[in-house]
Amino acid sequence: ATPPVWRPSLFIIHVTPELATVAKVGGLADVVFGLTRELAIRGNHVEIILPKYATLRYDQIYDLQEVYRDLWVPWYEAAIHCTVFFGFVHGRKCFFIEPHSQDNFFNRHTIYGFHDDVMRYAFFSRAAIEFMWKTNKHPDIIHCHDWQTALVPVYLYEQYQALGMTHPRVCLTIHNFAHQGITGPELLRATGLHRPEHFFSPTRLGDPRHPNALNLLKGGIVYSNFVATVSPRYAFETKDLGQGFGLEPVLHTHHIKYGGVVNGVDYDVWNPEIDRHIPVQYGIDNLDRKYDNKRALRQRLMLADNAKAIVAFIGRLDPQKGLELVRHAIFYTLERGAQFVLLGSSPDDRINADFWGLKRMLNDSPDCHLEIGFDEDLSHLIYAGADMMLVPSRFEPCGLTQLIALRYGTIPVVRAVGGLADTVFDKDYSNRPLHERNGYVFNDYDHRGLESALGRAIACYNDYPEHFRELIKNAMRCDYSWNRPGQDYLNIYDYIREP
């Protein structure tokens, strides 16, 4: 370990559309939750600003109170009256902005999915920075997340800097390039970012693919002082391998301030030594107890108790996750004499129906169980009880399942894309030293590719159990906590900070 270096304490404000455990849709919520804690532990002053959604989990907010009654946020030719609340989310200092207008921006039954989503978040971003300005907050760093808050640096450098906000620097983390916030000229009228010829310019918010559209995420990239995505490999893929959904040339232009930081995992929640969701806790020194969980998993899912390996899949049933290969893996696994467990669900009824059909087809097999649904509790038991975790994604910005699996000594079998390529190293073919190899990896998105990795994993489990055990130990020794990413982000902050 490197000795701690002294560094000045920073004032950091995260502006975010999501935060576990109060407003969670996806991984972004967990990242902000984990990173803000790590930054605070390291002695920084950290605050979070998010919308006051009607769907907030109020039972998870401690001591919520109104702290700023009359925040007037400019919008079109007038202004919208907002109230700001403050409360603690598991110790994190959070400001919640509540607008009062006919638009009803955040008083809805879900977080996303509305025709005016772009306007809702353009407004939120404006409200967040207006709040900082009115209350004289001068953070060293404003950290934004995804297209929803990508306008913050645009407002800062186009409007608020001239009003005296000269100190803050902005870091933007992009969790997924698939969503960018693409919209029309209406945005400029609403936000007071006048001068269409200025903002539509290809060097600013002009969308690279649609000449008459504005792109919020692109604006975020252009105006932020640093742009991070959630793994170095995904940074490369989005810039150079055509995975940037049209933003490749923009990333090239700004490559100097673009990089990847692999997300951390919350080891307070995901740790087999203290996990209360599993019947028997275990660690690297009493690995045999992992197999008590394997038995419990079989009991819960009514699988045969035998000497076979258990291969698992946990994830959203989204095409991104490589569903064709998941399907193939189920049959291949059974054919190779192992068991298969799947936990997943989709908002798309057709996909769910597909997997329900598969489930019925395999219903009589004592070696296979498909659980269609979302069940965090069961996921813990699968992480603990399975021998291998399959992640055959088409693309994967970072990926959490393989990181959690490693912690539980469940060997990841993954396709070499995005964060998977940065965190899983093949037992047989990696150029890493032996003790750093922690799984099985394949390249090609096809049956042969999948079989090449999964086949080797099952064979090793069956024929060389002592080698497989070494692999488990390597996996459990990996540190994918927030420790390293926390340091990485502090280095980024230091790099861009106003001295």
* Annotated binding-site members for ADP-alpha-D-glucose: 24
Annotate 50-75 with DSSP letters as a single string: EE--TT--GGGEEEEEEEEEEEEEEE
Q: Which is nearer to ligand ADP, 71 or 278 (CB)?
A: 278
Q: Where are the beta strands (DSSP E) in 153-289?
A: 169-174, 182-183, 214-215, 226-229, 258-260
User: CB 345 → ligand ADP: shortest distance, Å?
Assistant: 5
Query: CB 433 → ligand ADP: shortest distance, Å?
Result: 27
Nearest distance in Å: CB 468, ligand ADP: 23
Given the DSSP bridges, would you call strands 258-260 and 226-229 parallel, antiparallel or unpaired? parallel
Helix (H) or strand (E) holding 441: strand 440-442
- Between 206 and 315, whose beta carbon lies closer to ligand ADP? 315
Binding pattern for the stretch 388-427 against ligand ADP, x by CB under 6 A and - elsewhere:
----------xxxx--x-----------------------
Question: Cα dihedral angle (127, 129, 135, 139), rounded to 10 degrees?
Answer: 150
Residues binding ligand ADP: number (CB under 6 A): 17
Whole-number minimum distance, CB 410 to ligand ADP, in Å? 12
Q: State which residue, 71 or 404, has the beta carbon closest to ligand ADP.
A: 404
Pick between residue 152 and residue 342 the one whose CB is nearest to ligand ADP: 342
CB of 312 to ligand ADP, least distance (A): 10
Q: Considering only the C-alpha atoms of the chain, give the largest distance between any 2 of them, rounded to a whole number of Å.
A: 73
Which residues, 347 to 376, sit near ligand ADP by CB under 6 A? 374-376
CB of 403 to ligand ADP, least distance (A): 8
CB contact at 8 A, 344 and 358: no
Binding residues, as ranges, are 24
Please identify, using beta-carbon distances, which residue of 191 and 346 lies nearer to ligand ADP: 346
Give 84 or 400: the residue with its C-beta nearer to ligand ADP. Answer: 400
Please list every residue from 242 through 281 that binds ligand ADP, using CB under 6 A: none
Report, in Å, the least distance between residue 275 CB and ligand ADP. 13
List, in sequence order, every residue forming a beta bridge with 80; answer none if it has no partner: 73
Nearest-5° Cα angle at 98, 35 to 215:
65
The residue (of 324 and 470) whose beta carbon lies closer to ligand ADP is 324
Residue 486's SS3 state is helix
The pairing of strands 169-174 and 92-100 is: unpaired
d(CA 362, CA 368): 7
Burial of 262 (0-12, 13-18, 19+ CB in 10 A): buried
Which among 115-123, 208-216, 342-350, 460-468 is the span making contact with ligand ADP, rule CB under 6 A?
342-350
Q: Report the C-alpha gap between 358 and 369 in whole angstroms.
A: 10
- String of contacts with ligand ADP for each residue 282-321, x by CB under 6 A: --------------------------------xxx-----
Q: Residue 154: what residue type?
A: V
Nearer to ligand ADP, 308 or 407 (CB): 407
Buried b (16+ CB within 10 A) or exposed e, 361-394: ebeeeebbbbbbeeeeebbbbbbbbbbbbbbbbb
What distance in Å separates the CA atoms of residue 138 and residue 131, rounded to the nearest whole number?
11
Q: Is 26 in the site for ligand ADP (CB under 6 A)?
A: yes
Q: Least CB distance from residue 452 to ligand ADP, whole Å?
A: 23
Binding site for ligand ADP (CB under 6 A): 26-27, 314-316, 343-345, 374-376, 379, 398-401, 404
